[in-house]
Structure 1
């Protein structure tokens, strides 16, 4: 295919999908068709996009289409079309390719979808379907029995006054479900005293942390994990959605020993590094901790309203890479050997010792989780 400028296609007729011929726009809304091409590679991911202020069902999130267009300039517009209820093809989203020809698109319409780049004789594309997306294998919209109840998915983790959190401990009172939302808090410990960090004069009230996980209830290996989260705004604690290996990490690298997979951590508004991170940690053959990942550059590309709106944070986990996304947009791609162990989910709002001197809010601070889902795929996915 010849290189194309920033061009988009708005609508494709059903006849054009079959014939593959080209046409010009017409007054009745029909638009150029496309030529099926191997230069357009696309796959439908699960429903991984849903930013907004209101609580929504996980079933109402947008499907994400991951596409790569070979041989086009960076900034080429690619369009996603869906067949509406009345049988017409309508544009549902468009986006510009990155330097590798990659683009992420979204659809609120289930069924047949078409990815198109270019127009007239240069228009190329491919057809996909939401039916090709994996089905969820774990889903929690947080009803009243989601946390710390008999048969619940999530239980408060046994962590307190140790490690990097000598001034805080997890407690069930800091994790509650209300109106379909899991609310995780950092609270002042009513039974605690004051805590003084080494080398510092200032004392801090001991804190309770909302810290829950699915250990012993649910775990998986390879697939997609996502949670729709609205973070805290203040510094001094961090919201997190992460996973750990069942039974704890072991030496020998991630495939054998597992890994900690930090899908997202948010360290508060006005952070000098932007506030958002995605990391993985594992132990090498010598038992030394290895870290891959880091702070997300240019976080404003994905939003600047973390404490006002919900966003879907997700990871695609295969044997050869982790792909982190926010509302379907790729934020980091970490290639290489990944965890080969069963991993369980964790949601938390933690106040670590190193953060306390930077606390600029008022307790309680809160993180809200609308829903969490997993789509298991097996080792062949991706």
Structure 2
């Protein structure tokens, strides 16, 4: 099923170009595209609009396109530029980054249309041309301009979870999910129905207030199989709860491996600032033939290189899901790649700020805590 909701009006001025891994290059503009030798050594493709850092809300349509490129036979740290035609008809370098050990690089552009990936300069320059028209088209977008949570015609519904399992001290509640000013705000707050009561975890003396969690999903209204899923999120700061953007198989997981039985795909989880492991994870879970739970993925290494402003600025967290792999990205930059058999079942979207029992002893904030979602979007590709 494909569903598109209203988009927010374009901002009066575009945000600064979001770059991945390297700073912006302000090369002089020229009236013509760059000159280079087209080379098979430069392979590039345009991904959807998966990059948009910043403090303010903005429409999903204003996010930056991501160009995924690979340059053969170059050293790590080789500079690669992306050149685009700006609104005034001039060609400018809009992004610059350096290759990794395998020659991969991610570049971004707020300009659409024809783009040129260039390596080297002068007579030695080689490159390739791509076009944003070749990127997948969005099939689901929610900019949260309207309240689409727990509404008859809205895709999001509060999930049924309360005081059980790994969250005996918390439950999901519609009171912890609010749409206002173009943002879905998910919260952890004290449960007013149990004010004065305290939850005690087994083996621990300390007691905790019972909590409400913001926990919504598109189960029963929207699901897809293969493609890109992304959400622009500003996380909570404190530990003791975790922001999450994830997916589960429609109808529930079944034994038999991910292709047959589906999977849980945790695009991102953030466990708070100053976490000893950095705080960010990407996982996938599935049931094998015997019904045993299998886990792939883990904590993201070198989180400080990705950013340290998760609670003060929005970032786009995304997954590219194909039959052969999951590729997780933050603002277009690959953070983790899990290769092998993937879910072959339709998956629905989930956004949540959850306080699990194992986190509560590490709570170092003040209730309420908040996770803000600027938009959520899916580009369906099918198995190809």
Whether contact under 8 Å (1:9, 1:118) holds in the other structure is: no
CA gap of 1:66–1:51, structure 2 versus 1, over 3 A, is same
Give the secondary-structure state (helix, strand or coil) at the position aligned to 1:121: helix
- Runs of 5+ unmatched residues, structure 2: 1-24
Match of 1:285 in 2: 289
In 1, Cα distance between equivalents of 2:45 and 2:305: 23
Whether contact under 8 Å (1:9, 1:79) holds in the other structure is: no
Aligned with residue 186 of structure 1, among 174, 188, 199: 188
Aligned with residue 39 of structure 1, among 28, 38, 41: 41
Q: CA RMSD in A?
A: 1.4
Match of 1:66 in 2: 68
Match of 1:324 in 2: 328
Aligned with residue 204 of structure 1, among 208, 229, 232: 208
Query: How many positions carry a matched residue from both structures?
Result: 358
- Runs of 5+ unmatched residues, structure 1: 1-7, 18-30
Aligned with residue 347 of structure 2, among 343, 350, 375: 343
Give the secondary-structure state (helix, strand or coil) at the position aligned to 1:191: helix
In 2, Cα distance between equivalents of 1:58 and 1:355: 32
In 2, Cα distance between equivalents of 1:10 and 1:334: 37
Match of 2:153 in 1: 151
Match of 1:135 in 2: 137
Residues 321-353 of structure 1 deviation map (CA, whole Å, 9 limit, x = unaligned): 101011111100111110000000000000000
Give the secondary-structure state (helix, strand or coil) at the position aligned to 1:59: helix
Q: Answer with 141-150 or 160-169: which moved more.
A: 141-150
Whether contact under 8 Å (2:147, 2:180) holds in the other structure is: no
Match of 1:249 in 2: 253
Deviation at 1:9, TM superposition (A): 11
Match of 2:269 in 1: 265
Residues 15-55 of structure 1 deviation map (CA, whole Å, 9 limit, x = unaligned): 6x6xxxxxxxxxxxxx7x21000110000000000010001
In 2, Cα distance between equivalents of 1:72 and 1:11: 26
Structure label with greater radius of gyration: 1
Match of 2:79 in 1: 77
Whether contact under 8 Å (2:36, 2:118) holds in the other structure is: yes
Match of 1:166 in 2: 168
Whether contact under 8 Å (1:229, 1:367) holds in the other structure is: yes
The normalised TM-score by structure 2 is 0.91
Q: Answer with 194-203 or 242-251: which moved more.
A: 194-203
Whether contact under 8 Å (1:187, 1:208) holds in the other structure is: yes
Whether contact under 8 Å (1:221, 1:341) holds in the other structure is: yes
Give the secondary-structure state (helix, strand or coil) at the position aligned to 1:331: strand
Match of 1:105 in 2: 107
Matches within 5 A, 1:359-370: 359-370=363-374
Deviation at 1:12, TM superposition (A): 8.9
Aligned with residue 315 of structure 1, among 301, 306, 319: 319
Match of 2:17 in 1: none
